């Protein structure tokens, strides 16, 4: 009986270790899998991150349809897309929730969600979460900003108050985008991403 009771505990411990094994890429790293083409759920075209890069870089946002943290920040995600367009920074939004691909994060639901949110950026399907694995992305939303040199200048959250927009004091991503667009160094290069875990296939995460 004791052995049976221990099995769920051991499973939880194993899951925790698996999450810890996924480490994000370092600042200064080049774009992982930059030429890997993913299906854009908005129009069924195939798009790579490198193709989406503009004069001042590219922003990669790992997101999904249902995470409360994503939903709470959608106004900010729309603003970020407009700001990026103005600053000549490309944007891609990537859905790596492979374990939910048959329902909430299916291509059809992604298209509906992207249209409802008036996405300007491609909303890409990361099959089997291979791009998320390459980036070491674990949360939604989680942002990776690459400068005009194609190297990682910022990774982390949009700001310091995911659930309460009126309480924001630090605009991490916007500040980093502004610096990158002007060719300046980013003052705060990393922050902690608060959000739902990316639902990798049969991983339990």
d(CA 70, CA 165): 12
Q: Which domain holds residue 170?
A: 25-197
Q: Which residues contact 57 (CB under 8 A, 6 or more apart)?
A: 89, 90, 145, 146, 147, 148, 150, 153, 180, 181
pLDDT at 42 over 60: yes
Kindly state whether residue 1 falls inside one of the protein's structural domains.
no
What mean pLDDT is predicted for residues 150-169?
A: 95
pTM of structure: 0.88
Write the CATH number for 140: 3.40.30.10
Kindly state whether residue 6 falls inside one of the protein's structural domains.
no
Kindly state whether residue 177 falls inside one of the protein's structural domains.
yes
The pLDDT value recorded for residue 21 is 76
74 closest CA partner among 129, 133, 115, 131: 115
The pLDDT value recorded for residue 22 is 86
Kindly state whether residue 19 falls inside one of the protein's structural domains.
no
Kindly state whether residue 116 falls inside one of the protein's structural domains.
yes
Kindly state whether residue 204 falls inside one of the protein's structural domains.
no
The pLDDT value recorded for residue 15 is 41
Give yes or no for a cis peptide into 141 (omega within 30° of 0): yes
For the chain, the average pLDDT equals 90
The pLDDT value recorded for residue 2 is 44
Q: What is the tens place of the pLDDT at every residue in 71-84? A: 999 999 999 999 99
The pLDDT value recorded for residue 90 is 98
pLDDT at 57 over 70: yes
H or E stretch covering 113:
helix 107-116
Kindly state whether residue 18 falls inside one of the protein's structural domains.
no
Between residues 12 and 199, the one the model is more confident about: 199
Kindly state whether residue 9 falls inside one of the protein's structural domains.
no
d(CA 186, CA 54): 18
Number of folded domains in the chain?
Answer: 1
Q: What is the tens place of the pLDDT at every residue in 84-105? A: 999 999 999 999 999 999 999 9
Calculate what percentage of the chain has a pLDDT beyond 70.
89
């Amino acid at each position: 009986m004791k052995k049976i009771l221990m099995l769920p505990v051991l499973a939880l411990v194993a899951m925790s270790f698996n999450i810890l094994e996924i480490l994000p890429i370092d600042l200064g790293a080049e774009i992982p899998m930059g030429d890997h083409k993913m299906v854009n759920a908005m129009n069924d075209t195939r798009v790579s991150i490198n193709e989406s890069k503009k004069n001042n870089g590219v922003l990669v946002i790992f997101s999904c349809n249902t995470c409360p943290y994503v939903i709470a920040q959608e106004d900010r995600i729309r603003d970020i897309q407009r700001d990026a367009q103005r600053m000549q920074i490309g944007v891609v939004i990537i859905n790596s929730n492979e374990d939910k691909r048959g329902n909430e994060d299916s291509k059809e639901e992604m298209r509906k969600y992207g249209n409802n949110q008036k996405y300007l950026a491609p909303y890409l399907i990361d099959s089997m979460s291979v791009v998320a694995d390459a980036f070491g992305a674990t949360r939604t939303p989680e942002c990776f900003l690459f400068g005009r040199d194609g190297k990682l200048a910022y990774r982390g959250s949009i700001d310091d108050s995911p659930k309460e927009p009126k309480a924001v004091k630090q605009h991490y991503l916007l500040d980093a985008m502004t610096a990158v667009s002007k060719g300046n160094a980013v003052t705060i290069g990393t922050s902690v991403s608060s959000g739902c875990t990316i639902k990798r296939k049969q991983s339990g995460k």
